[in-house]
Chains A and B, each alone.
Chain A
Amino acid sequence: MLEIVIFGAVTSAIYAMLAVGFTLIFGVARILNLAHGSFYALGAYGAYVLTSIAGLPLVVATPLVVLGVALFGMGVERVLIRPMRKSQLAVLMISLAVALVVEQALFLIFGSEYRNVPSFVDTKLNIGGVDVAGQRLLTLVVAVAAIGALYAFIQRTRLGSAILAISQDPEAAQYMGIPSDRIFGVVMALSAGLAALAGIMAGPFLSVQPSMHLLPIVKAFAIVVVGGLGSIPGSIVAALMLGYAETLVAYGISTSWTEIVSVAATLLMLVLRPAGFFGKRAAF
């Protein structure tokens, strides 16, 4: 029982880190960013390059990689997405193209083999008889801290208020003098940085290979559909639901059934309540 609580929490935390960024950029800029998983992949590969090849300690590499990927996200928004923002379909296509280009670039540079990202902590903890890898618990802590910080940033700072204003009414916000283009860049950077952080934290115990961007985008998509596209509390609740549902299925039924949970949840939600639990209106 305790195992389900702990492992479910870790899975949910990773999902939440991925989904919050994904939903944020949609909620604010109406960008359905299919390249979100690529930020996660670049985070993991960045950590691999800086630690294994450049020989930097992971503590130093992490902020560098998060910053680098955030800048990359900003660049993608500025150069590729901004000129096409008028058409959601064009944005969808260009973000898909970015995802494929990143994947192919990783293939060319690193080959198809798995790479190893070192762990921050290499100890095993025992909580009430359950063996948990230290890295997993740390991931849980980092995820809670990062999402908490993001939430505080949006709620408490001037820039955060501007982000909120745009997400609520972009036109009115612009009339108030909020520079929406610059805000979009900031939000894209936040979203990309958060995904990169997830990649660095999960890299040591999940797979690091060129097509690793696929799974996160599928999960993030399922979560925001369930939680309501654009709603941060919604995606946190949905991440918890999905994380625990998968863990329960793995314990109760079989590990071969876990991957169908997210797909089934997406379908069910789209049929029953297209706006998601917390969404104000259907996003599609």
Chain B
Amino acid sequence: MFGHPISKRAFTQAAAAIAASAAMLPVMAQQAPIKIGLTTAVQLQVGRDTQDAARIAIDEVNAKGGVLGRKLSFVVADETENPETGINAIKKLTADEKVDVIVGGYTSGVTLAQLPHITSAKTIYLGVGAASPAITAKVKQDYETNKYIFRVGPINAAHQARSLTEWISGHLLGELGLKRIAIIGENAKWVQDLVPILRKGATEAGADVRFVELFDTSTSDFSPLLSKIRSSEAQFLVVILSHASSDVFAKQWYDARFPIPYGGIDVKSMDNDFFNRVGGKSISQLAANFAVRAPLTPKTQPFFDEFKKRTGRVPVYTAFGTYDAIHAYAQAVERAKSTDTNTVIKELEKTSMVGIAGQIEFDETHDVKAGGKFMNMLFVQWQANGERAVIWPKALRSGTMIMPPWLSK
């Protein structure tokens, strides 16, 4: 093709055609749907749920005639768990797809890497997966630059640490009278940040923290760790697990008929099929979750049922966030009577709507509010046959706490 230079005439014609179609774009755009860009790790359940929840929310909005007479549509970009790929996903959504709003996120490291690219593209970003407080802290540091960033879910890591402490003091100490606790977690940045806060909070609440240790994320044998915990004479084991080791830990805890019950933050154990994936060995484990099929708000059960009907699965937290984020955005556009970014941001800041896990409102850092009528951290227990019961907070309790079968005899 390099052998035949394009003739001047052909070039002029082509240029004229491109210019003409570009001139027509604004006219067409008025009829075009509002485009939502989803950025997520599509290989994982969090990613699949993000997409499925987006479909549900978009169908609901479109069934009512869309927003300002325009339908909603979405495109997906895979951000994986790798910051480089995450940045490319944002570039694809903003530069190529020219989306009106971005919804998504999972790994905090990826989201933090994406932020400069989101703000320089001046596109609204509604986070639904990453929990690092550093993400929304940017909004406070420099509002003008970072005002595009919102977090619809989950509640941030600092709120999570506070919820954990409340659970330890209220439930473990207050109700069960378990004073001696051990804390273990995988050796990751957010756990290193969280464990000292947790240790301090638990000690202040009156717990006797006997043992604290972080383990390598690729640990395959927990026997030494379990035996050290056992000799610390702890009565309850608090765990902070997210990525690698939940299943191995549950299996080895069960296989050894470990004489100490356990629970805490275990991201994999939020999945509805975790119980089956470990062959039922997570029995009696208490795992923090943001919503389960319980009457948390009028929207909770209908959403769970609709999701189950469409996908055959039970949604994880990114699904709640995505569903709420799309509705919050649609309502903000409706109130703003335009998709103009600055006007919509002002309206998003005024958001007060019923979400799946609680009332949705944003604080001054554009972070979703937590506690009370807002989103809470629920402590949910695995019971016989993979049933789940909310044990804490007490106000939302849906079942009685059980002990591991070998301890209850």
- Assess whether A193 is interfacial by the CB under 8 Å rule: no
Q: Are B215 and A256 in contact (CB under 8 A)?
A: yes
Using Cβ atoms and an 8 Å threshold, which residues of chain B touch A171?
none
Using Cβ atoms and an 8 Å threshold, which residues of chain B touch A259?
216, 218-219
Q: Are A205 and B277 in contact (CB under 8 A)?
A: no
Using Cβ atoms and an 8 Å threshold, which residues of chain A touch B257?
124, 131
Tell me the nearest residue of chain B to A116, going by C-beta.
Answer: B279
Q: Are A119 and B255 in contact (CB under 8 A)?
A: yes
- Assess whether B268 is interfacial by the CB under 8 Å rule: yes
Tell me the nearest residue of chain B to A114, going by C-beta.
Answer: B247
If the complex has contacts A205-B248, A256-B187, are A3 and B214 also in contact, measured as CB distance less than 8 A?
Answer: no
Q: How far is the CA of A116 from the CA of B222 in the complex (A)?
A: 18
Q: How far is the CA of A111 from the CA of B277 in the complex (A)?
A: 12
If the complex has contacts A113-B271, A116-B278, A116-B279, are A255 and B252 also in contact, measured as CB distance less than 8 A?
Answer: no
- Assess whether A39 is interfacial by the CB under 8 Å rule: no
- Assess whether A107 is interfacial by the CB under 8 Å rule: yes
Within 8 A of B (CB), among A83-118: 107, 111-116, 118
If the complex has contacts A7-B224, A257-B216, A258-B219, are A114 and B277 also in contact, measured as CB distance less than 8 A?
Answer: yes
- Assess whether A250 is interfacial by the CB under 8 Å rule: yes
Q: Are B225 and A255 in contact (CB under 8 A)?
A: yes
Using Cβ atoms and an 8 Å threshold, which residues of chain A touch B255?
119, 122, 124, 133-136, 204-205
Using Cβ atoms and an 8 Å threshold, which residues of chain B touch A4?
224
Tell me the nearest residue of chain B to A247, going by C-beta.
Answer: B224
Tell me the nearest residue of chain B to A202, going by C-beta.
Answer: B220
- Assess whether A251 is interfacial by the CB under 8 Å rule: yes
Q: How far is the CA of A228 from the CA of B256 in the complex (A)?
A: 35
Residue-by-residue, is A250-275 near B (CB-CB < 8 Å gives 1, otherwise 0)?
Answer: 11001111110000000000000000
Using Cβ atoms and an 8 Å threshold, which residues of chain B touch A131?
256-258
Tell me the nearest residue of chain A to B220, going by C-beta.
Answer: A206
Using Cβ atoms and an 8 Å threshold, which residues of chain B touch A134?
255
- Assess whether A11 is interfacial by the CB under 8 Å rule: yes
Q: How far is the CA of A256 from the CA of B225 in the complex (A)?
A: 10
Q: How far is the CA of A60 from the CA of B245 in the complex (A)?
A: 29
Using Cβ atoms and an 8 Å threshold, which residues of chain A touch B224?
3-4, 7, 247, 250-251, 255
- Assess whether A152 is interfacial by the CB under 8 Å rule: no
**How many of chain A's residues touch chain B, expressed as a range?**
35 or more
Residue-by-residue, is A183-208 near B (CB-CB < 8 Å gives 1, otherwise 0)?
Answer: 00000000000000000000011111
Within 8 A of B (CB), among A119-134: 119, 122, 124, 130-134
- Assess whether A215 is interfacial by the CB under 8 Å rule: yes
Using Cβ atoms and an 8 Å threshold, which residues of chain A touch B216?
255-259
Residue-by-residue, is B206-220 near A (CB-CB < 8 Å gives 1, otherwise 0)?
Answer: 000000011110111
Within 8 A of A (CB), among B149-197: 187
Residue-by-residue, is B198-239 near A (CB-CB < 8 Å gives 1, otherwise 0)?
Answer: 000000000000000111101111111101100000000000
- Assess whether B407 is interfacial by the CB under 8 Å rule: no
Q: Are B252 and A133 in contact (CB under 8 A)?
A: yes
Using Cβ atoms and an 8 Å threshold, which residues of chain A touch B225?
250, 255
Using Cβ atoms and an 8 Å threshold, which residues of chain B touch A3?
223-224, 227
Q: How far is the CA of A135 from the CA of B214 in the complex (A)?
A: 26
Q: How far is the CA of A136 from the CA of B256 in the complex (A)?
A: 10
Q: How far is the CA of A114 from the CA of B223 in the complex (A)?
A: 20
Tell which of B45, B220, B245 touches A215, judged by Cβ atoms closer than 8 Å: B220
Using Cβ atoms and an 8 Å threshold, which residues of chain B touch A254?
213-215
**How many of chain B's residues touch chain A, expressed as a range?**
35 or more
Using Cβ atoms and an 8 Å threshold, which residues of chain B touch A113?
45, 271, 273, 277
Q: Are B44 and A112 in contact (CB under 8 A)?
A: yes
If the complex has contacts A247-B224, A256-B187, are A205 and B252 also in contact, measured as CB distance less than 8 A?
Answer: yes
Using Cβ atoms and an 8 Å threshold, which residues of chain A touch B406?
124
- Assess whether B276 is interfacial by the CB under 8 Å rule: yes
Q: Are A116 and B276 in contact (CB under 8 A)?
A: yes
Q: Are A107 and B43 in contact (CB under 8 A)?
A: yes
Using Cβ atoms and an 8 Å threshold, which residues of chain A touch B91?
none
Q: How far is the CA of A113 from the CA of B278 in the complex (A)?
A: 11
- Assess whether B138 is interfacial by the CB under 8 Å rule: no
- Assess whether B251 is interfacial by the CB under 8 Å rule: yes
Q: Are B256 and A124 in contact (CB under 8 A)?
A: yes
Q: How far is the CA of A221 from the CA of B326 in the complex (A)?
A: 49
Using Cβ atoms and an 8 Å threshold, which residues of chain A touch B268?
114
Q: Are A132 and B256 in contact (CB under 8 A)?
A: yes
Tell me the nearest residue of chain A to B185, going by C-beta.
Answer: A256
Within 8 A of A (CB), among B245-289: 245, 247-248, 251-252, 255-258, 268, 271, 273, 276-279
Using Cβ atoms and an 8 Å threshold, which residues of chain A touch B228?
251
If the complex has contacts A116-B279, A133-B252, A250-B225, are A255 and B215 also in contact, measured as CB distance less than 8 A?
Answer: yes
Q: How far is the CA of A205 from the CA of B220 in the complex (A)?
A: 8
Q: How far is the CA of A187 from the CA of B293 in the complex (A)?
A: 54
Q: How far is the CA of A255 from the CA of B228 in the complex (A)?
A: 10
Q: Are B43 and A112 in contact (CB under 8 A)?
A: yes
Q: How far is the CA of A108 from the CA of B183 in the complex (A)?
A: 36
Q: How far is the CA of A259 from the CA of B221 in the complex (A)?
A: 11
Q: Are B218 and A215 in contact (CB under 8 A)?
A: yes
Using Cβ atoms and an 8 Å threshold, which residues of chain B touch A7?
221, 223-224, 227
Least CB distance from B407 to A in Å reads 13
Q: How far is the CA of A258 from the CA of B223 in the complex (A)?
A: 12
Pull 24 A–B residue pairs with CB atoms less than 8 Å apart, ordered by A: A3-B223, A3-B227, A4-B224, A7-B227, A107-B43, A113-B45, A114-B247, A115-B277, A116-B279, A124-B255, A130-B227, A134-B255, A136-B223, A205-B251, A206-B220, A206-B248, A207-B220, A246-B221, A250-B221, A254-B215, A255-B215, A255-B224, A256-B213, A259-B219
Excluding A3-B223, A250-B224, 7 further A-B contacts by CB distance (< 8 Å) are A7-B221, A111-B43, A113-B277, A207-B248, A247-B221, A255-B219, A258-B221
Q: B residues engaging A (CB < 8 A)?
A: 43-45, 187, 213-216, 218-225, 227-228, 244-245, 247-248, 251-252, 255-258, 268, 271, 273, 276-279, 406
